[in-house]
Structure 1
């Protein structure tokens, strides 16, 4: 009996490892290739196709719009056809767009394909909490989602290896073909794997019971939509909005602030960026591992403390080597944050309800990012410096830390859907959602 139990444990660990690698590769492809490759080779594409920076700005905005639309669409589809189907469909669509993009010289068609690529980054991410909840043990979800959240870094790292060899031969089209073919190959492997593991089936997994005496949870999509009535869910949605408002502009305006505002050489700015990318490859897993031991809330507080210190350094002491220290602190906080929030959701609720809750967080994050980038540009125009937005970021991190402390402990009865037994005269979903 013990040999059988040991064999099942090894099989479950192997399945968890395979699924973790696949999910990380999905994020690497949709974010690293789809979202950021254009930014790395836009100069070469402009030289060949002859479009201006107004077009670049329009395409970037279209990508953000695609992210928002697909976050909503992915949430809706996941609750109807299943998270496994949405994930595979999203990464497959990403690979198809990557392959089709270099076929045309039309900047309009390229812009549409890039907008769709921006959308697949959202729709591939939405169902992750459902899939992780079905495959990964409760005690390992923090580290797994932390590693998955670092997938962007792996994608950007692969880009940094591929870009020079293709661009120096004026072969930017071949680069798109290569990453597209690689993404389609991963999609084929993942489709077979998901089918064998039964992840295309819509049956709900057995509910998690991390604590003795914890109530059974309602995992339906209807209960998930009614989570707007639950305090911790509203807090999570607010936190994701502020994450987008603070984190995205911090990253987007860091290089211009260092070079134009503080007068640092381009080589130093590149070193800061390179350091952020390397640390990001490991930070998500490391902090996720820590969260499985000390709790998601405590890990989030640590990340927001690092984020606050990073922003403050760029405001009060942006001299010498300190901007590099700021970049290190930012990398240690930035990538883990995007794994810790879904880890909290996956440890508090499962199934379609988790997909709905996490899907809405992607929408609020996207809105926050758009508003944050606009506000940062507006403050730069009004004050002549990016510094004041880093002041805003520091304030936002204090608010985020405070909100984190207001969350119930993940997996506790206070964070579960359906704390109370539903009354006979109420529909089951309603009673659970309002409990």
Structure 2
């Protein structure tokens, strides 16, 4: 009976962590950090700033995220993973409310940078909590669902923002979504406290995950370096794929904004469930196989963009990208939760996020020069396919979860 009760508690903890963390991702990314992109044009009219300010704000947010990623493991070790996550979401909600009061571009930029800090302090510690609270068999699908939280947030923001802007202006969007985010933060805290109290534990488990154990083991080992390189290649591939799509298709191929909008709709729709679906597949066939498949599909999507002869190729590319993009960003943390103990998971994932940011910046920077050298953005997508192939190769040399020798 005791065993059955414990199993039931574990199931409730798994469901609670999955739902709450998905909602938290929706708040800090979909409703929070990425909401600025949706409202930028409306805010420009009200605050009187130019496109250069948008670039400064987004670059500042990226830098803030990277700095917070460095500091996050130290903060998590001091206050605990679960507490840091809840605090980050609560503060993010308050910052969204404050965004409704900004009167200058400087204050706006500062708050966006602070939102990026909250985003890092929310997402990075999740791997430690998932390692501690979720059954090994279900960690890939939980991480996959959490990675799709951004899509849920963007879907909600895209549904609510237009009519709020028309009825009450852009400030109302920040205020309403901010107040909703605060409620989500409190509701999630109560759910975790009641159904998954281990999320707030500061006692590290030495669970036998088939991965790296031992509290004194350095995180700088071959496996973790490969994981970091994988997230760097993900940023180098996915950043340019997204950033140059509209320009390539509209300016070089003469496609309408309607078609381009349809492609993004496909990507966003698939993002609502692709992370969970591929995570579920990974729990069945292994993270390594699912990750290799995802990189292959990502490379295929880039090739289809580059060589498209008709619009059907582009629709296929959008489907491939929608399936692989959210999958990759869910499978890598899933791999970490299956190979690293909960004490080290946050530090390893923090390093991975730093590499993701650097890889994204490098990919966007290099891709910006490619048209000057080759005369076309088509070669950006050939480059993305090459980077995805490099990611697939790294997956080949990545140890399978459950086969890594434990640390002595």
Contact 1:134–1:205 at 8 Å: present in 2 too? yes
Cα RMSD (Å): 1.6
Alpha-carbon deviation of 1:318?
4.8
Alignment counterpart, residue 276 of structure 2, candidates 279, 285, 304: 285
Alpha-carbon deviation of 1:317?
2.2
Alignment counterpart, residue 356 of structure 1, candidates 344, 347, 350: 347
Alpha-carbon deviation of 1:248?
1.7
Aligned to 1:202: 202
Aligned to 2:213: 217
Q: List runs of 5+ in structure 1 lacking aligned partners.
A: 421-435
Alpha-carbon deviation of 1:143?
0.4
Contact 2:28–2:119 at 8 Å: present in 1 too? yes
Query: What are the equivalent positions in structure 2 for 1:248-327 lying under 5 Å apart?
Result: 248-327=239-318
Contact 1:262–1:318 at 8 Å: present in 2 too? no
Contact 2:206–2:213 at 8 Å: present in 1 too? no
Contact 2:274–2:322 at 8 Å: present in 1 too? yes
Counterparts of 2:200 and 2:8 in 1: how far apart (Å)? Answer: 23
Question: Normalising by structure 2, what TM-score?
Answer: 0.96
Contact 1:79–1:355 at 8 Å: present in 2 too? no
Alignment counterpart, residue 129 of structure 1, candidates 113, 127, 130: 127
Alpha-carbon deviation of 1:8?
3.1
What is the DSSP-based 3-state SS (H/G/I as helix, E as strand, rest coil) of the residue aligned with 2:54? helix
Aligned to 1:87: 85
Aligned to 1:120: 118
What is the DSSP-based 3-state SS (H/G/I as helix, E as strand, rest coil) of the residue aligned with 2:200? coil
Contact 2:140–2:334 at 8 Å: present in 1 too? yes
Aligned to 1:68: 66
Counterparts of 1:282 and 1:318 in 2: how far apart (Å)? Answer: 29
Question: What are the Cα deviations for residues 45-92 of structure 1, in whole angstroms up to 9, with x where unaligned?
Answer: 111111110111111111111111111121221133211122112111
What is the DSSP-based 3-state SS (H/G/I as helix, E as strand, rest coil) of the residue aligned with 1:321? helix
Change (3 A) 1:299 1:320: same
Alignment counterpart, residue 166 of structure 1, candidates 164, 167, 171: 164
Q: List runs of 5+ in structure 2 lacking aligned partners.
A: none
Counterparts of 2:353 and 2:240 in 1: how far apart (Å)? Answer: 16
Mean Cα displacement is larger for which, 79-88 or 60-69? Answer: 79-88
Counterparts of 1:256 and 1:26 in 2: how far apart (Å)? Answer: 32
Aligned to 2:337: 346
Alignment counterpart, residue 6 of structure 1, candidates 4, 16, 24: 4
Contact 1:78–1:352 at 8 Å: present in 2 too? no
Mean Cα displacement is larger for which, 326-335 or 116-125? Answer: 116-125
Aligned to 1:429: none
Counterparts of 1:80 and 1:353 in 2: how far apart (Å)? Answer: 14
Alignment counterpart, residue 394 of structure 1, candidates 377, 382, 385: 385
Question: What are the Cα deviations for residues 342-382 of structure 1, in whole angstroms up to 9, with x where unaligned?
Answer: 11111011222111111100000001111111112222344
Aligned to 1:424: none
Mean Cα displacement is larger for which, 180-189 or 290-299? Answer: 180-189
Counterparts of 1:209 and 1:382 in 2: how far apart (Å)? Answer: 48
Query: What are the equivalent positions in structure 2 for 1:36-47 lying under 5 Å apart?
Result: 36-47=34-45
Contact 1:138–1:208 at 8 Å: present in 2 too? no
What is the DSSP-based 3-state SS (H/G/I as helix, E as strand, rest coil) of the residue aligned with 2:173? helix
Alpha-carbon deviation of 1:411?
2.2
Question: Normalising by structure 1, what TM-score?
Answer: 0.90
Contact 1:71–1:362 at 8 Å: present in 2 too? yes
